[in-house]
Amino acid sequence: MPLITIGVVYAGVVVGLMVMALVGTPEYEHVNDLHVGVTWLAWSVLAIAGLAVSVTSLRRSAAALPNAFQWMAVALQAVVVIMLALAVPLSILSLVAYIRGFAVYDSEVARCGHPPVLASPGWGGDVLLPTDSEYERLKYAPVDPLLLGPTTYFCTLADAEAHGYQRQSWHS
């Protein structure tokens, strides 16, 4: 029973990755935060429940199981604990980034009185105007905690250029 229960948890990882592959889209980056957050949070709940059942059943049936099965169950449980240590913070960070993306964008719209300009630094950096095709896809993404150079909001193109951001020539 302990190996079956922990196997369900591993099957949950496979199902979660398949779900993320099916619903993941490059269209709206902030939606990916929602998908990652919900998927890993759901897997974390499954993993905690499966781990509890697996540990409990291992303790109750330890005398009847060969030593090799006991050690295998413990090793598989340890891997799940390590995965949980990564999955729970990742899901929380992703869900917070998703929620904050809307809040930050809405506050900038209120501050500017119109949709703000998006500016991103570094290699591939660009300034996007609300009329650009990429704008809708990226407007909620600036609070991604994993970006090395997060996007910044400015009220006007002149404000962004005054801070050293440059609009790519292909927009013209």
16-72, pLDDT tens digit by residue? 888 877 877 666 677 888 888 998 999 899 888 888 888 888 788 877 878 888 888
Residue 27's domain comprises 1-100
Tell whether 137 and 61 lie within a shared domain. Answer: no
Whether the predicted pLDDT of 151 surpasses 80:
no
Q: What is the pairing mode between strands 117-120 and 126-128? A: antiparallel
| Residue 109 within a domain | no
One DSSP character per residue, 95-129 reads HHHHHHHHHHHHHHHHHHSSPPEEEE-STT-EEE-
Among residues 59, 74, 100, which one ends one of the domains?
100
Q: How many domains, in total, are found in the chain?
A: 2
Among residues 58, 73, 100, which one ends one of the domains?
100
Tell whether 18 and 82 lie within a shared domain. Answer: yes
